[in-house]
Structure 1
Amino acid sequence: MKVKIIADSGCDLPKQILDNLNIEMMPLIVQADGEEFLDRKTIEPVQLYNKMRNGSAPKTAQVSPLTIKETISTYAKENIPVIYITLSSGLSGTYQTAVLMNEEIKEEFPEAQSAIFDSLGASLGYGLMVYEAALLAEKGESIETILSMLEQFRDSLQYIFTVDDLEYLFRGGRVSKTAAFMGSLLKIKPVLHMKDGKLFPLEKVRGRKKSFSRMLELMKERTGDTSKMTIAISHGDDIESANLLKEMIKDEFKTNEIIINMIGGAVGAHAGPGTVALFFLSKPVRS
């Protein structure tokens, strides 16, 4: 029986991929303007970005324990193997909650083949892991084989991104008010990356295109043969910038495929409109 892949909405994969590969998505919670929404179900990313542009300061919450337990239990009852790949434990409590719920499920269904995997990632970087896991599941690979691939993929995955407005990082507690003000004044576009599941600043660059050029320089430093890789770009309601970065990558690298999608509410609530993120592997995992 094929392994069922479950992810939460923080993976930011396009709906077409989710549907084609039979990936089940569980929505994280977004709170904005006194209302609570389910990411990508009762609020679309563009709606959230418009709220943020109008002054809203949204917050996010993890997938509910009940939703996690009910979803995994559905497959456990049918003895269908399941891997739930979660948003980074450094950014959300979903992983820890899922582990606890899975322990309860296994008490009720001792034969259940269910595993929880911490992506230590976010947005389409995390989404690439889900994508590769689902491809293996479609081929009929075992739960052990898929988990082994995920560990290799997680170790190799690189995240580099830039934000358009430091104000949103200030709201999320990532930079000081002074840094946000001066950065906006000087048109500073910080380049950041993810390490051990958490976000860290790399350097400050003046101007949008220069920040993209620096992202490509870092990509050259961190990767080798890209011809067999799937590269991903996610954006905070800024498809023009995402496409610009895509063309810059195509000019510099041999690429197997480039996936582009909008950053959902789970990550976008903290990064803000105009964020552009690049995801690739330091070495190929797929043969």
Structure 2
Amino acid sequence: MNVKILADSACDLGEESVKQYDIDILSLTVQLDDQNFEDGKTISAKTVYDAMRNGKAPKTSQVSPQTFKDVFTKYAEQNQPCIYPAFSSELSGTYQAAKLMEQEVKEAYPDWQFEIIDTKGASLGLGLVVLRAAKMAQEGKDFSSILEMSKYHAEHMEHIFTVDDLEYLYRGGRVSKTAAFVGTLLKIKPLLHMEDGKLIPLEKIRGSKKVFKRMLEVMEERGVDLRTQPIGISHGDDLETATLVSDMIKETFHNDDIHIEMVGSSIGAHAGPGTIAIFFLNHPYK
């Protein structure tokens, strides 16, 4: 029996990839206009971005414990081996909720082969880990090989990103109100990265063109095998800019293996419209 790959909606993988590799997606919750929605199922990222542009402030919450319990129990009953690369524990309670339900389900099904990985990743940084695991599962690779490779990709995945408006990060507690105000006033574009699963400011750059050029410089400084490894680009409802960045990467690194996806509503609710992120490995691709 092939290994089944589970993921949460924070991986931001598109419907085509999810169907092609038979990935089971568990949705985080998005709260908008006093209603709860399932990320990617009952609400679209586009709806969330349009609401934010109109001044609304959607909120998000982790995958519900009951959802985890139902899905885990279903696969445990089938004795289906599963691996779940999860959204960073530093950005959501999703990982902790999953671990609690894993413990509960394994009390009833102690022989069930199942592992949860705290990837310390988000968006396509998480999505590329999930995708690699799902491809290996489809090829019939064994449980331990997929688990080992997933941990390797999670450990070495770089997240480099910028946002269009610091106000959204301020609302989420990522920057101070003063920094948000000054940044907007001076047209400063923040460059951020992920460090041990947390969002960390890297540099402040004036102007969009300069920030995208700097993102590619950081890729060159940190990345390896940039001509051959899959590279992810996610965007906050700004495909035009994501395509521009993709063209810059192709021209600079001669790499056509680039995955572009929209940042989903659970992450987009905090990063906001206009976010651009690049994901790549800092150790040799396997």
**Do both share a fold (TM > 0.5)?**
yes
Cα deviation, 1:81-133, whole Å, max 9, x if unaligned, reads: 01122110000111111111111111111211111111110000000000000
Alignment of 1:199-218 (within 5 A): 199-218=199-218
Describe the SS at the equivalent of 1:120. Answer: strand
Alignment of 1:173-212 (within 5 A): 173-212=173-212
**In 2, Cα distance between the equivalents of 1:85 and 1:225?**
23
Indicate the residue corresponding to 1:111 in structure 2. Answer: 111
Indicate the residue corresponding to 1:46 in structure 2. Answer: 46
Indicate the residue corresponding to 1:99 in structure 2. Answer: 99
Indicate the residue corresponding to 1:23 in structure 2. Answer: 23
Partner amino acid, structure 1, of 2:187: K
Percent of aligned pairs with the same amino acid: 55
**Contact 2:84/2:117, CA 8 A, preserved across alignment:** yes
Describe the SS at the equivalent of 1:274. Answer: coil
**In 2, Cα distance between the equivalents of 1:249 and 1:228?**
12
- Residue 259 of structure 2 corresponds to residue 259 of structure 1: yes
Describe the SS at the equivalent of 2:137. Answer: helix
- Residue 37 of structure 2 corresponds to residue 12 of structure 1: no
Partner amino acid, structure 1, of 2:182: M
**Contact 1:124/1:232, CA 8 A, preserved across alignment:** yes
Indicate the residue corresponding to 1:141 in structure 2. Answer: 141
**Contact 1:229/1:256, CA 8 A, preserved across alignment:** no
**Contact 1:161/1:276, CA 8 A, preserved across alignment:** yes
Shift of the alpha carbon at 1:40? 0.6
Shift of the alpha carbon at 1:163? 0.4
**Contact 1:89/1:197, CA 8 A, preserved across alignment:** yes
- Residue 164 of structure 2 corresponds to residue 164 of structure 1: yes
**Contact 2:85/2:116, CA 8 A, preserved across alignment:** yes
Which piece of structure 1 moves more, 176-185 or 239-248? 176-185
Alignment length (residue pairs): 286
**Contact 2:14/2:261, CA 8 A, preserved across alignment:** yes
Shift of the alpha carbon at 1:256? 5.1
Partner amino acid, structure 2, of 1:7: A
Shift of the alpha carbon at 1:265? 1.1
**In 2, Cα distance between the equivalents of 1:35 and 1:54?**
17
Give the TM-score of the pair, scaled to structure 2.
0.98
**In 2, Cα distance between the equivalents of 1:129 and 1:28?**
18
Cα deviation, 1:144-167, whole Å, max 9, x if unaligned, reads: 111110111112111100001111
Cα deviation, 1:205-234, whole Å, max 9, x if unaligned, reads: 011111100000000000122233100000
Partner amino acid, structure 2, of 1:42: T
Indicate the residue corresponding to 1:231 in structure 2. Answer: 231
Indicate the residue corresponding to 2:282 in structure 1. Answer: 282
Partner amino acid, structure 1, of 2:78: E
Indicate the residue corresponding to 1:269 in structure 2. Answer: 269
Give the TM-score of the pair, scaled to structure 1.
0.98
TM superposition outliers: structure 1 runs of 4+ over 6 Å: none
**In 1, Cα distance between the equivalents of 2:210 and 2:174?**
22
**In 2, Cα distance between the equivalents of 1:74 and 1:228?**
38
**In 2, Cα distance between the equivalents of 1:228 and 1:178?**
42
Q: Structure 2 regions of 5+ residues with no counterpart?
A: none
**Contact 2:85/2:150, CA 8 A, preserved across alignment:** no
**Contact 2:32/2:57, CA 8 A, preserved across alignment:** yes
Which piece of structure 1 moves more, 168-177 or 189-198? 168-177
Describe the SS at the equivalent of 1:209. Answer: helix
Partner amino acid, structure 1, of 2:121: G
**In 1, Cα distance between the equivalents of 2:245 and 2:25?**
28
**In 1, Cα distance between the equivalents of 2:6 and 2:54?**
34
